Chains A and B, each alone.
Chain A
Amino acid sequence: MFNHHLLTQQQKADYKRFREYVKEYVEPFASEWDKQQGVPRSVIEKCAEAGFVGGIIPKEYGGGGWDTVTFGLLNEAFGAASSSLCGLFTVQTMVAMTISRWGSEEQKKQWLEPMAKGKVIGSFAMTEPKVGSDIQSIETTFTPQGENYLLNGTKRWITYSGLADIFLVFGKNEDKSMACIIPSNAPGVKVIPIRDMLGFRGAYLSQLEFTDCLITPSDLVGKPGLVIAYVAPYGLHYGRVSTAWSSTGLHRACVETASSYASERRQFGEPIMEHGLIRELLTDMVVEMEAARSLCLSGSIADDAHMPDAMEKILMAKYYASRAASRAAANTIQAMGAAGCHEENRAAEYYRNAKIMEIIEGTNQVLQRVLGKSFARKYKKKS
């Protein structure tokens, strides 16, 4: 149980509730969702009824009004059992918080309340076949037509887009970055499911094709030209909060699996836990898990306090927690040997999902590029 002294009593109580829910309604079924490559809509509806899908959406729009720490704890609890289901909390929050911060009052009224209740699922459509982290080079176009625009382009690897009701789509009008909300059933929208991903198999990744989709000014989010500087980073920030905490949950699942196996598995006449090399693996896994949790908590508390450096702290948390989870998953398989390499054991699924954590919401190499530039300046001794 994650029981940090910096958590409030309410946060501890919420976390306990999340863990109990996951134990009863997620853990027993998550492996099957991975095999079937889809989290059932009924599971999402049940999560919505429990208040988990729109927990962080402001209360005035029907959400739970959670702080960032509580949202993080939700992701930790669910991330240990189902990265695919956790991916829903990631994208729903990315879209909802972007609308909450930069949407018009009409957009907030139209979308946030149904999103808070899970009646509308949102998906964050940024990545393209040729454009990943380099969002300045985005190729999707908004072409002016009178006072409206025609949206054309292709998005790929979009989490939960196969199930989503609305997409938050990013593109450009010449050199001006733009974003809009478009329903998934709008004319000109085509959704092509992508199966057999390495991880996040139940998270409905799809390719989206937009052909001459009519976008009115009321569909736009943020000011044209300032979307890459202000709108996209805001959504990505909450995506990283979710991914960082979800990684720590996945990390915990690895620790629990490896510890249980090492306590029961006997070699050379004793449990392998008694072997120094296995103890070393477990020691590294748990110390890194604790470090990742501390970074997540530090960033989330900074976010709740509206501190300017919250975004950078969350970048660090996502960077470290995803790498640590990936190492933990690899170590779990190493400790389990051949048993860890078969899909009958969830360690294999953890390993596949952990790799995805290092790629989504900005690859760790892009985060190194951003953080490295910042740190080089920040820690340079003044002459």
Chain B
Amino acid sequence: MRIDTISRPQDTIRQFILDSVNLPDLDDDFDIFETGIVNSLFAIELMTFLEKAFNIKVTMDDLDMANFKTVNTTAQFVLNKQGASGV
């Protein structure tokens, strides 16, 4: 699996989700957990992907489904983490 983070966080995150669920397209405000398109492992897979792709560490305080429910909220979470850590 190649992880490319040169593009905007939204693009990187969207592509990971699309690859994971094999969908042709995904709206950046689509709630991926409410709609059942992902399996029970996906929460941790997404977390692991974010940590590796964006060089961040997801902590217990970050655990809030609101952070990860859409491409846009996840991208905002990543930007906040990077801003907080100076990445």
B60-A383 in contact (CB<8A): no
Task: Contact check, B24 vs A222: say whether CB atoms are below 8 A apart.
Answer: no
A308 contacts B52, CB within 8 Å? yes
Q: Looking at the assembled complex, report how far the CB atom of B30 sits from the nearest CB atom of chain A, in whole angstroms.
A: 15
Instruction: Find the residue from A237, A315, A374 having the highest chain B CB count within 10 A.
Output: A374
CB within 8 Å for A315 and B22 given contacts A226-B63, A229-B65, A308-B1 = no
Also in contact, A308 and B60, with CB within 8 A (given A229-B65, A380-B22, A383-B24)? no
Query: Do B39 and A308 have beta carbons less than 8 Å apart?
Result: no
Q: Is B16 touching A229 in the complex (CB atoms < 8 A)?
A: no
With A102-B60, A374-B41, A382-B22 given, is the CB distance from A230 to B47 under 8 Å? yes
Which residues does chain A contribute within 8 Å of B60, judged by CB atoms? Answer: 102, 104, 222-223
CB contact list, A304-324 vs B, under 8 A:
306-312, 315
For A378, list chain B residues within 8 Å (CB).
20-22
A370 close to B (CB within 8 Å): yes
Contact indicator A310/B24 (Cβ below 8 Å): no
Enumerate chain A residues within 8 angstroms of B37, measured Cβ to Cβ: 377
Beta-carbon contacts under 8 Å, A195-243 to B: 222-223, 226, 229-230, 233-234, 237
Cβ contact within 8 Å between A311 and B45 = yes
Looking at the assembled complex, report how far the CB atom of B13 sits from the nearest CB atom of chain A, in whole angstroms.
12
B45–A382 CB distance below 8 A: no
* In the complex, B49 has a CB within 8 A of chain A: yes
Complex partner residue of A377 from B21, B40, B51, CB under 8 angstroms: B21
Would you call A223 and B63 a contact (CB within 8 A)?
yes
Which of A102, A223, A229, A307 has the most chain B CB atoms inside 10 A of its CB? Answer: A229
Note all chain A residues with C-beta closer than 8 A to B40: 229, 233, 370
Measured between beta carbons, the chain A residues less than 8 angstroms from B41 are 233, 311-312, 315, 370, 374
Select one of A222, A307, A315, A379 contacting B48, CB under 8 A. A307
Of the four ranges (under 10, 10 to 19, 20 to 34, 35 or more), the interface on chain A belongs to 20 to 34
- Docked complex: B40-87 residues within 8 A CB-CB of A: 40-41, 43-49, 51-52, 60, 63-65
Residues of B within 8 A of A306 (CB): 48, 51-52
Give the interface centre of B24, B40, B49, B64 by most chain A CB atoms within 10 Å.
B40
CB of B32 to closest CB in A, whole Å: 12
C-alpha spacing A107/B21, complex, angstroms: 36
Q: Does A373 contact B (CB under 8 A)?
A: yes
In the complex formed, the residue of A with least CB distance to B46 is A308
Closest 10 CB pairs of A and B: A308-B49, A308-B45, A229-B43, A308-B48, A226-B63, A223-B63, A377-B22, A306-B52, A311-B41, A374-B39
Residues of A with Cβ closer than 8 Å to B?
A: 102, 104, 222-223, 226, 229-230, 233-234, 237, 306-312, 315, 370, 373-374, 377-380, 382-383
9 contacts between A and B (CB under 8 A): A226-B63, A233-B44, A306-B51, A308-B1, A308-B46, A310-B48, A311-B41, A378-B21, A379-B22
